[in-house]
């Protein structure tokens, strides 16, 4: 035994007492050259003077989610009409096409109706943030950017980019 490493005596341990190097151990990298992540910004770091950069949401993903929500609403309406047996198949298809066109063009009547329903339930943007799920990263980022923009305008802070 050398350098106070290992067991003082191997008796009763079920081993020979031989100590060898751990080849699986990896030394942690120092923050700098070759580090996998940028250095943590602290009070004395080089990037302390730079402003916070908000991560921008992916517009393609947001557009896909909006279109998917439209399709879900159209399919729910189609299923409801089929269950009620009110309309024939062609009428249902025509009605769904018209509904898709209205939703894609941004039907103002529906938006106004949603605003009237949502009045008095709390803050508009805060309510939206609470409704989003944790996996809706891009929607959360978009809502956070809008919230930051509203706060910046309300406080009269000019935009430095």
CA gap 88, 82 in Å, rounded: 8
The CA-CA-CA angle for residues 114, 110, 130, to 5°, reads 30
Place of tokens 């009110």: 86
CA gap 124, 69 in Å, rounded: 20
Predicted pLDDT of residue 126: 57
3-state SS string for 1-70: CCCCCCCCCCCCCCCCCCCCCCCCCCCCCCCCCCCCCCCCCCCCCHHHHCCCCCCCCCHHHHHHHHHHHH
Phi, psi dihedral angles at 34 (to 5 degrees): 85, 0
CA gap 94, 25 in Å, rounded: 66
Which residues in the chain come in under a pLDDT of 50? 1, 107-122
Predicted pLDDT of residue 89: 76
Domain boundaries defined on the chain:
56-110, 123-152
Predicted pLDDT of residue 107: 47
What would the two tokens of residue 127 be? 């309510």
For residues 51-86, one letter each, b for 16 or more C-beta atoms within 10 angstroms of the residue's C-beta and e for the rest, the string is eeeeeebeeeeeeeeeeeeeeeebeeebeebeeeee
Report which DSSP code applies to 8.
Answer: S
Predicted pLDDT of residue 161: 54
Place of tokens 């009070």: 43
Q: 0.75 cut: is pTM over it?
A: no
Predicted pLDDT of residue 15: 85
Cβ-contact 125, 110 below 8 angstroms? no
């Amino acid at each position: 035994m050398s350098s106070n490493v290992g067991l003082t005596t191997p008796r009763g341990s079920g081993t020979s007492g031989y100590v060898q190097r751990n080849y699986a151990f990896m030394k942690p990298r120092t923050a700098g050259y070759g580090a996998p992540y940028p250095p943590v910004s602290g009070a004395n770091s080089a990037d302390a003077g730079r402003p916070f950069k908000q991560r921008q949401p992916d517009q393609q993903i947001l557009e896909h989610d909006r279109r998917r929500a439209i399709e879900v609403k159209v399919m729910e309406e189609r299923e409801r009409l089929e269950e009620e047996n009110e309309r024939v198949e062609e009428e249902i298809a025509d009605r769904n096409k018209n509904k898709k066109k209205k939703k894609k063009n941004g039907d103002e009547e529906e938006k106004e109706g949603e605003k009237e329903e949502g009045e008095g339930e709390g803050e508009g943007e805060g309510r939206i943030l609470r409704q989003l799920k944790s996996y809706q990263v891009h929607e959360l980022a978009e809502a956070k950017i809008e919230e930051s923009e509203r706060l910046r305008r309300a406080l009269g802070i000019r935009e430095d980019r």
